[in-house]
Chain A
Amino acid sequence: MQKRVIFRSKSLPYLLVLPQIVITLLFFFWPSYQALESSFFIEDAFGFSREWVGLRNYAELFADPGYLRSFRTTLVFGLSVAALALGMSLGLAVAANRVLRAAQIYRTLLIWPYAVAPALAGVIWYFLMNPSMGIVAYWLDGLGVEWNHYVNGDQALLLVVIAAAWKQVSYNFLFFLAGLQSIPKSLIEAAAIDRAGPIRRFWTITLPLLSPTTFFLLVVNLVYAFFDTFALIHATTEGGPADATSVLVFRVYNTGFIGQDYGSSAAQSVVLMTLVIGMTFVQFRYVERKVTY
């Protein structure tokens, strides 16, 4: 936790942590407190007066079918993104781990999408699947699938799922590859001597040993899908059509900035904060467990 040998100084350490603490207080704690506070009030549109309403904002939130639907959308979205991104990257990592030569080239070719901003990834897929001239929509049409994400809500959701997963594959790939490379070769060789084929070895050795990595990535992917994809959705479908892609984070923004309903937006913020803190807690519990292994 701390060094045995340390420097003695009364004021210097405070000076050193000061910038971090000031920024944290000003831009993290104060706003979070404000969100918590204003979630108990109803404010008029001009901000002149406000009225204490207790938990009414929350009650209204959970009675609102639109909000509950957003919960469902977020869950479907998050799980689909995680499943797609994890599945693809696991396949690629297992393949890359098998290749001896050219592994470096494959890795370079597979990791760069990490650097692409979610907003840009979304816009590019939006273009590819544009019903009137997108090339993917054209191919789908050739297969007899009528693609129009401007009208069809499920297709709009699928579009953002694909774009979000596309960007996340590189990240998962790197972690899976690192996980695979830390599996002792002797285990695999021993199984091979016992005549276990590659598929059997994957299911009985590789996959169980990868489970800590997989679980860690699952949490990271869900957090990514829940919170970092705001840009992707805002730059493309804007929550539509008919709220089909309006995930929780998008809703907070929409209620607060567009709808100007501060009380409800604050209540939504608090719900989301609870969600993030819960997920981070789960993640850290797991990290601790990994340390004691």
Chain B
Amino acid sequence: MVENRPILNFITHAALILGVLFLCFPVWMALTASTHAPEALSKSPIPMWFGNQGWENYTQLLSAGLPAAGGVPLGRMMLNSLVMALGITLGKIAVSILSAYAIVYFRLPFRMGFFWMIFVTLMLPVEVRILPTFDVVTKLGMLNTYAGLIVPLIASATATFLFRQFFLTIPDELVEAARIDRAGPIRFFLDILLPMSRTNIAALFIILFIYGWNQYLWPLLVTTDEGLYTVVMGIQRMVNSGESLPVWHYVMGTAVLGMIPPVVVVVAMQKFFVKGLVESEK
């Protein structure tokens, strides 16, 4: 702060509080609505404070799910989401750290070719090539499997770039020292490079976990088996379940459950999150 201006201080805090309210208000409403009986949500204005049905609503959702939307217990959906998110995260990190290692530390003919090939994947989000990708997955027999949910999404240009950038900052003397000590490339990777990449891996883990957990279109396409539904994608069947009106107390309960894991990860590991976000965009 350059000078002290009380009025400006007031405006600053007012703006920030307003912003926080704008961001928190929808989630607050979702949280309170999920603790009411359906009757309380049937007429305007709906209550803005907690109801007394919270325990019943959430146990019903987690153990039995919604009959109108396939009746998959939300516990099951959360587990599917977790498997998918972790699979995508770990897969992306493993695949990209290996290829970054190859690109930086080896003399690879066609290196630029590989580099561009990886780079192009950055440009083609799933959304724009839905149908043909779906065809490939069908031909490989990967519909309705965890592999089908995970494998097509684990190529990552962003992560490869990030690791490459980081490896380039590691002094050459380390490799020389390792080679004098007769460490081979695999030994060097496992004992030196991997431990040094810890913070980068942690930062990337958070960004990719959110990416994986929040996938929507892909699970929507490759799963027709209700036992494989994920939370984020399953909620759509509750909202648009056809003839019956949406059961908002359950829908909001699902929304709350679906956002808890990624939000907790972001808030709990805020330092790594900010690092990962800012660096993966460079």
A binds B: yes
Chain A contacts to B: CB under 8 angstroms: 2-9, 12-14, 16-17, 19-21, 23-24, 26-32, 34-35, 38, 88, 91-92, 95-96, 98-100, 106-121, 123-128, 130, 132-135, 137-138, 141, 166, 169-171, 174-175, 178, 188-189, 192, 198, 216, 220, 227-228, 230-231, 234-236, 238, 249, 252-253, 256-257, 262, 265-266, 269, 272-273, 276-277, 280, 287
Determine if B262 and A17 form an interchain contact, defined as CB atoms under 8 angstroms apart: no
Q: How far is the CA of A91 from the CA of B18 in the complex (A)?
A: 11
Q: How far is the CA of A9 from the CA of B189 in the complex (A)?
A: 14
Top 9 A-B pairs, shortest CB-CB distance: A231-B216, A31-B132, A13-B106, A16-B102, A117-B214, A34-B132, A115-B262, A272-B128, A13-B102
Q: How far is the CA of A38 from the CA of B265 in the complex (A)?
A: 42
Determine if B213 and A117 form an interchain contact, defined as CB atoms under 8 angstroms apart: yes
Q: How far is the CA of A16 from the CA of B281 in the complex (A)?
A: 24
Determine if B23 and A234 form an interchain contact, defined as CB atoms under 8 angstroms apart: no
Determine if A115 and B124 form an interchain contact, defined as CB atoms under 8 angstroms apart: no
Given contacts A99-B12, A257-B130, list 19 more A-B pairs with CB under 8 A. A2-B111, A7-B105, A7-B184, A13-B102, A14-B108, A16-B101, A21-B117, A31-B129, A32-B129, A115-B266, A117-B232, A117-B259, A138-B44, A170-B23, A198-B5, A228-B125, A249-B128, A266-B132, A280-B122
Q: Which segment of B49-57, B60-68, B72-80, B235-243 sits at the interface? A: B235-243
Minimum Cβ distance to chain A for residue B157 (Å): 9
Determine if A24 and B155 form an interchain contact, defined as CB atoms under 8 angstroms apart: yes
Determine if A99 and B27 form an interchain contact, defined as CB atoms under 8 angstroms apart: no
Secondary structure call for the A interface: helix
Determine if B270 and A234 form an interchain contact, defined as CB atoms under 8 angstroms apart: no
Residue B258 interfacial (CB < 8 Å): yes
8 interchain pairs, CB-CB under 8 A = A2-B103, A3-B167, A31-B133, A95-B13, A133-B248, A166-B26, A227-B128, A257-B131
- Interface residues of B, CB < 8 Å — how many? 108
Determine if B236 and A234 form an interchain contact, defined as CB atoms under 8 angstroms apart: yes
Q: Chain A residues with Cβ under 8 A from B141's Cβ?
A: none
Cβ contact of B118, chosen from A20, A31, A137, A287, cutoff 8 A: A20
Determine if B103 and A17 form an interchain contact, defined as CB atoms under 8 angstroms apart: yes
Residue B274 interfacial (CB < 8 Å): yes
Residue B19 interfacial (CB < 8 Å): yes
Q: Chain B residues with Cβ under 8 A from A141's Cβ?
A: 44
Within 8 A of A (CB), among B103-141: 103-108, 111, 114, 117-118, 120-125, 127-133, 135-137, 140
Cβ contact of B136, chosen from A30, A96, A128, A249, cutoff 8 A: A30
Determine if B267 and A112 form an interchain contact, defined as CB atoms under 8 angstroms apart: yes
Q: How far is the CA of A86 from the CA of B186 in the complex (A)?
A: 46
Chain B contacts to A: CB under 8 angstroms: 1-3, 5, 8-9, 11-13, 15-16, 19-20, 22-24, 26-27, 29-30, 33, 41-46, 48, 94-96, 98-99, 101-108, 111, 114, 117-118, 120-125, 127-133, 135-137, 140, 151-152, 154-155, 160, 167-168, 172, 175-176, 179, 184-186, 188, 210, 213-214, 216-217, 220-221, 232-233, 235-236, 239-240, 248, 251-252, 255, 258-259, 262-263, 265-267, 270, 273-274, 277-278, 281-282
The residue on A at minimum CB distance from B154 is: A23
Determine if A117 and B15 form an interchain contact, defined as CB atoms under 8 angstroms apart: no
Which of A9, A262, A287 has the largest number of chain B CB atoms within 10 A?
Answer: A9
Secondary structure call for the B interface: helix
With contact pairs A16-B99, A21-B114, A32-B132 given, residues A133 and B175 touching in the complex (Cβ less than 8 Å) = no
Q: Chain A residues with Cβ under 8 A from B46's Cβ?
A: 133-135, 138
Q: How far is the CA of A262 from the CA of B48 in the complex (A)?
A: 47
Determine if A5 and B185 form an interchain contact, defined as CB atoms under 8 angstroms apart: no
Minimum Cβ distance to chain A for residue B95 (Å): 5
Determine if B117 and A256 form an interchain contact, defined as CB atoms under 8 angstroms apart: no
Determine if B129 and A273 form an interchain contact, defined as CB atoms under 8 angstroms apart: yes
Q: Chain A residues with Cβ under 8 A from B107's Cβ?
A: 2, 6, 8, 13
The residue on A at minimum CB distance from B248 is: A127
With contact pairs A28-B120, A109-B23 given, residues A5 and B210 touching in the complex (Cβ less than 8 Å) = no
Determine if A276 and B2 form an interchain contact, defined as CB atoms under 8 angstroms apart: no
Determine if B19 and A110 form an interchain contact, defined as CB atoms under 8 angstroms apart: yes
Minimum Cβ distance to chain A for residue B229 (Å): 13
Q: Chain A residues with Cβ under 8 A from B104's Cβ?
A: 2-3
Determine if A119 and B236 form an interchain contact, defined as CB atoms under 8 angstroms apart: yes
Q: How far is the CA of A2 from the CA of B102 in the complex (A)?
A: 10
Cβ contact of A5, chosen from B2, B132, B175, cutoff 8 A: B175
Q: How far is the CA of A131 from the CA of B186 in the complex (A)?
A: 62
Determine if B132 and A277 form an interchain contact, defined as CB atoms under 8 angstroms apart: no
Q: Chain A residues with Cβ under 8 A from B240's Cβ?
A: 235, 238
Q: How far is the CA of A236 from the CA of B2 in the complex (A)?
A: 47
Q: Chain B residues with Cβ under 8 A from A121's Cβ?
A: 26
The residue on A at minimum CB distance from B40 is: A133
Q: Chain A residues with Cβ under 8 A from B124's Cβ?
A: 28, 32, 273, 276
